[in-house]
Amino acid sequence: MNKKEILKEFGRNLKAERNRAGLSQEQLAEKIGLSYGQVIGTIERGEINTSISVVIAIMNALNIDFEDLFDIKNLMK
The domain of 29 spans 3-63
Output the domain CATH number for residue 31: 1.10.260.40
The per-residue pLDDT for range 8-20, each reduced to its tens digit, is 999 999 999 999 9
State the virtual CA torsion across 41, 42, 47, 50 in degrees, nearest 10: -120
Do 58 and 51 contact (CB within 8 A), yes or no?
no
In a domain, 46, yes or no: yes
In a domain, 77, yes or no: no
Number of domains comprising the chain = 1
In a domain, 73, yes or no: no
Question: Which residues are within 8 A (CB) of 53 and not within 5 positions of it... i.e. 6 or more apart?
Answer: none
Do 61 and 28 contact (CB within 8 A), yes or no?
yes
State the sign of the Cα–Cα–Cα–Cα dihedral 65, 71, 72, 73.
Answer: positive
In a domain, 56, yes or no: yes
In a domain, 75, yes or no: no
The per-residue pLDDT for range 18-72, each reduced to its tens digit, is 999 999 999 999 999 988 878 999 999 999 999 999 999 999 999 999 999 988 7
